[in-house]
Amino acid sequence: MDFLLAEHGSIYLLTARTPEAQAWVASNLPEDRLRWAGATAIGHQYVSDIISGIGQAGLQVELS
């Protein structure tokens, strides 16, 4: 899997696990994004759009 997505209430943590995933994050998420323990913190209202973009890029997300 390219990404790991962990739900923590209204916040999700998205971890890029492959070089391709890291490149996707660098190209598609803002530079000033909130980071926590190596992951990107995402509000619940943005998760579906981000997951959709990841899928359109041919990458995969594992939910934990």
Global confidence as pTM:
0.93
Instruction: Give the CA angle between residues 3, 9, 13 to the nearest 5°.
Output: 25
User: In this predicted model, what pLDDT tens digit does every residue of 9-58 receive, in sequence order?
Assistant: 999 999 999 999 999 999 999 999 999 999 999 999 999 999 999 999 99
**Domain locations in the chain?**
3-63
Write the CB contacts of 54 (distance below 8 Å, at least 6 apart in sequence): 2, 3, 21, 24, 60, 61
d(CA 53, CA 8): 21
Write the CB contacts of 59 (distance below 8 Å, at least 6 apart in sequence): 2, 3, 18, 20, 21, 24
Structural Rg of the chain based on CA atoms: 10
Architecture label for domain 3-63: 3-Layer(aba) Sandwich (3.40)
